[in-house]
Structure 1
């Protein structure tokens, strides 16, 4: 009997394990009925109180799964086996997913509130006519500096980074397109150039920046700058927001000659199943009061101009994150390049890092 009991207990344990695994799968994929919405998003990229509010208003429960890069998200959607209803790719990835037939076109007859989005944030090159995407947040690439080491207003151009006074003072975000991009802009070229001579010239100019580069780092750049480990950094506006919230001496500037303008967007992947929930959520997030609440929570720039009007005056007038139109007009959006050119960018960038 003891042996039988042990076998019985083992069987129960296996069944329990299978049940747990099944529950975890349901939690991950959200395959738990029709009253759900399965959102595949960047980490901590939506106010959880909005999800609660959405569920109370509509009855749809939102299951959230997260990714840490556009490429990881792309691979998972491409491989299938998931039930994601909405995901949040950046600009160039929208273009790539569209080209690879991984997106479902928007049914605009079911959308309300599209007129809340500013014209400057719609009809971009990566999705003309917004056939597949609705803008979620936007931002820029720029320079962060510490006013204890750098005089306020003295660092406003990319070319100033090459000054000898910043020797071993600059941290760079580890991103091939962004670092190659600001070098290209400093030379008057497009961030989307496929001209090999221009690309090589941009890399050679970065090599001359190497004496000023303290480190090329990823997410830890936020901690280093917040703790005063370097006077200057090149990073995205969203990251700058987090740094500045921890260190009042930090400031963010978009160089006047131009920079990258990035967009994160809501799209419907081919894995979608719950279309009533999808359009209920898109319309919910387009409402000015909800978009404003989300912007306050995330700290990034909202493309919803009706929501923008609801933000505190201090935020609305912050030119670091809501630059004037004359600056916006000079910003460039990344395009999805051929695999060959993406590899060339990556190779040149790697050469620069190895030279460092």
Structure 2
């Protein structure tokens, strides 16, 4: 009887052990297969091939979503819902989200490729010591124009856009900070001006620009320029770069009065569920070869010094898109203006757009 009981207990033990091992193996495999990170980025802002490469290298699935404005992204983070692990806010939005405690501090030791970044694009006023963000791409706001349509014009000043000869031949990006900003710069004011009187001056000044404007547009600006529906546009440098690469008849300038130097950044929201995966993704994008490939696909300027040195010289040495120190001295990074002042900018920009109808 004792021997029989021993056999029964032994069989039970072996069975339970086998069940436990099977459970652990199954759970382990499932975890490995289902580990994921949720990424929230601007549209057309990463080479899709790199997402697949990251997934293959790490086994981490990337759930990728896009947004079309900082405000939309920020609202979604604040309101909850999807727990994003990596987001890509612009400069002033980093400042705002930090103040509202929507971002986690960045542990630089977990991003070894951060060493590849150019120190000149680190430690910016919107995020001292890069405590909450890491630069991803940067650029400027300027004027792109068709040199065949206007062979004797150089557009070195915002003032040049106000010439009646350009009637209905200018396109503008659909951004309040950019368009109110060009008028503020033209008048000698800061892009971050909060003075109500200066903002009223800028709004009044833009009424003189209205007759020259063909339209306020979005992604269609490239098509409209290439099809000669307009020959001049105020755009971000990353929009201008591929147009010029495809058609050397176009040129891009940053006006002498000054303009915007902007940064889009990688950050980790406070609601992130996979911080380890987020760090791996950020570090992956800062790899020299990965960043070079991504820069060539996206078209914007990279703050990654190692990647820039690997780019063709006609890209890396082009000061229209990689401004030198002298040019940078007259550029400003957007600051968080606060909701009240931002509403004033938006209202005045809307009033301007109404003039165009």
TM-score bracket, normalised by the shorter chain, equals 0.7 to 0.9
How many angstroms apart in 2 are the aligned matches of 1:191 and 1:102? 25
Tell me the TM-score normalised to structure 1 length.
Answer: 0.87
**2:200 alignment partner in structure 1:** 200
Equivalences for residues 324-339 of structure 1 within 5 A: 324-339=324-339
Q: How far does residue 245 in structure 1 lie from its aligned partner after superposition?
A: 4.8
**2:67 alignment partner in structure 1:** 67
Out of 301-310 and 35-44, give the one that drifted further: 35-44
**1:101 alignment partner in structure 2:** 101
Question: For this pair of structures, how many residues does the alignment match?
Answer: 326
In the alignment, structure 1 residue 130 sits paired with structure 2 residue 135: no
Deviations 1:217-266 (A, max 9, x none): 22222221121111211111122234335544222111133211111100
**2:26 alignment partner in structure 1:** none
**2:39 alignment partner in structure 1:** 39
Confirm or deny: 8 A CA contact 2:35 2:59 kept in the other structure.
yes
The 1:304–1:152 alpha-carbon spacing in structure 2 relative to 1, beyond 3 Å, is farther
Q: How far does residue 52 in structure 1 lie from its aligned partner after superposition?
A: 2.4
In the alignment, structure 1 residue 289 sits paired with structure 2 residue 327: no
**1:114 alignment partner in structure 2:** 114
Deviations 1:80-133 (A, max 9, x none): 121210011111111121122111111123221223212221111211111100
- Any idea what SS the aligned residue of 2:65 has? strand
Tell me the TM-score normalised to structure 2 length.
Answer: 0.86
Confirm or deny: 8 A CA contact 1:140 1:260 kept in the other structure.
yes
How many angstroms apart in 1 are the aligned matches of 2:186 and 2:349? 16
Higher-Rg structure is: 2
**1:302 alignment partner in structure 2:** 302
Confirm or deny: 8 A CA contact 2:268 2:275 kept in the other structure.
no
How many angstroms apart in 1 are the aligned matches of 2:130 and 2:81? 27
Out of 194-203 and 207-216, give the one that drifted further: 207-216
How many angstroms apart in 2 are the aligned matches of 1:276 and 1:59? 13
Q: How far does residue 78 in structure 1 lie from its aligned partner after superposition?
A: 1.1
How many angstroms apart in 2 are the aligned matches of 1:351 and 1:65? 32
How many angstroms apart in 2 are the aligned matches of 1:253 and 1:54? 36
**1:25 alignment partner in structure 2:** none
Give unpaired runs (5+ residues) of structure 2.
1-30
- Any idea what SS the aligned residue of 1:139 has? strand
How many angstroms apart in 2 are the aligned matches of 1:294 and 1:221? 22
- Any idea what SS the aligned residue of 2:310 has? coil
The CA RMSD measured in Å over matched residues stands at: 1.8
Q: How far does residue 211 in structure 1 lie from its aligned partner after superposition?
A: 1.9
